[in-house]
């Protein structure tokens, strides 16, 4: 993991419409052909998602690189699910290219829930503890044969140096707009730390939209497209992007995270936040406001550690 992986160019995305999906279902799963199909609101970037009836979800990768996760999910999600304290998606069927769509795709059971946010989490400390318990359980699954970092998960689980160019590019654009010297210090501190432990499972994208609530409590964790085995630091980024200061302390204590791992987790949160801030310098939309909030969390937590 010491070599710096090449992320390559941005994936070339494909579009998928309802009529195309209807043909895929009719050709490959005629038993479901009579069920209504409708796009899912805010379906994400890596996959185009659709409701299939009232109880199923269709996930169609939007680019060849994202399609690499399909076989991984079909192999490993049924293995992970029984070991975890809350529901995760388990594939019901695997679709093949057809009807002008070029990649493999998946049918999942629909999991009800409300995306987590500062407004929707009922008890921030309890939520942090529940999320930590989920991560502990995930890391407890045998990782010896799990998928190593690669393009299938954009090298989550590998060295943070993978994103060094992106971080420095964003810092250059943000010079004069943020405390770039402090942000650079945090980044250098993170990339100087290396994982030398035993590989463990990680989700890879513990973000607000992938954490579902029921009654304000953690109910399910979805979208395992970036999962794999290796350095679990990427799963710590949520400590700054969603958790409160009190919740962050509980989360860290429950996971028994040492300073080096915590620093790398902070680094994962930082580079993504810097890129978002740099891409929205002249914007005041919700994403830009949230990115600056997260950056403030990172800078403040580091300065007062």
Catalogue all structural domains in the chain, each as residue range(s) with its CATH number. Answer: 18-111 (3.30.200.20), 115-303 (3.90.1200.10)
Q: Rounded to a whole number, what is the largest CA-CA distance in the chain?
A: 59
Whether the per-residue pLDDT at 1 is higher than 50: the answer is: no
Can you say whether residue 183 is alpha, beta or left, with left for phi > 0 and alpha for psi between -120 and 50 degrees? alpha
H helix or E strand, kind and range, residue 78: helix 64-80
Which of 10-19, 58-67, 146-155, 244-253 is least confident? 10-19
User: In which band, very low, low, confident or very high, does the pLDDT at 2 lie, cut at 50, 70 and 90?
Assistant: very low
- The model carries a pTM of 0.95
Average pLDDT for the chain:
95
To 5 degrees, how large is the angle CA 235–CA 240–CA 245? 125
- List pLDDT tens digits, range 118-174: 999 999 999 999 999 999 999 999 999 999 999 999 999 999 999 999 999 999 999
- List pLDDT tens digits, range 258-280: 999 999 999 999 999 999 999 99
Contact between residue 238 and residue 134 where contact means Cβ atoms under 8 Å apart: no
- List pLDDT tens digits, range 178-235: 999 999 999 999 999 999 899 999 999 999 999 999 999 999 999 999 999 999 999 9
Q: Is 51 helix (H, G, I), strand (E, B) or coil?
A: strand
Residue 12 confidence (pLDDT): 86
| Mean pLDDT calculated for residue range 17-32 | 98
């Amino acid at each position: 993991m010491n070599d710096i992986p090449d992320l390559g160019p941005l994936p070339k995305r494909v579009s998928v419409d309802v009529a195309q999906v209807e043909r895929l279902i009719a050709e490959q799963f005629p038993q479901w052909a009579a069920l209504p199909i409708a796009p899912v609101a805010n379906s994400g970037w890596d996959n185009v998602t659709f409701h299939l009836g009232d109880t199923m979800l269709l996930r169609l990768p939007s680019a060849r690189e994202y399609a690499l996760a399909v076989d991984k999910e079909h192999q490993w999600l049924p293995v992970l699910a029984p070991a975890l304290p809350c529901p995760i998606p388990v594939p019901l069927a695997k679709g093949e290219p057809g009807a002008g769509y070029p990649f493999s795709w998946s049918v999942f059971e629909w999991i009800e829930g409300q995306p987590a946010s500062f407004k929707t989490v009922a008890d921030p400390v309890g939520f942090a503890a529940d999320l930590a318990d989920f991560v502990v359980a995930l890391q407890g699954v045998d990782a010896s044969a799990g998928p190593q970092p690669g393009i299938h998960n954009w090298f989550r689980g590998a060295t943070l140096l993978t994103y060094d160019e992106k971080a420095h590019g964003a810092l250059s654009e943000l010079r004069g707009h943020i405390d770039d010297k402090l942000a650079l210090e945090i980044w250098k501190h993170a990339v100087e730390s290396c994982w030398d432990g035993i590989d463990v499972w990680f989700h890879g994208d513990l973000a607000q939209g992938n954490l579902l609530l029921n009654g304000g409590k953690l109910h399910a964790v979805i979208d395992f497209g970036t999962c794999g085995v290796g350095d679990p630091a990427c799963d710590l980024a949520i400590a700054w992007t969603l958790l409160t200061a009190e919740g962050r302390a509980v989360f860290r204590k429950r996971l028994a995270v040492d300073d080096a791992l915590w620093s790398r987790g902070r680094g994962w949160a930082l580079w993504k936040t810097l890129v978002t801030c740099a891409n929205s310098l002249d914007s005041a939309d919700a994403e830009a406001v949230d990115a600056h909030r997260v950056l403030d969390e990172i800078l403040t937590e580091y300065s007062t550690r």
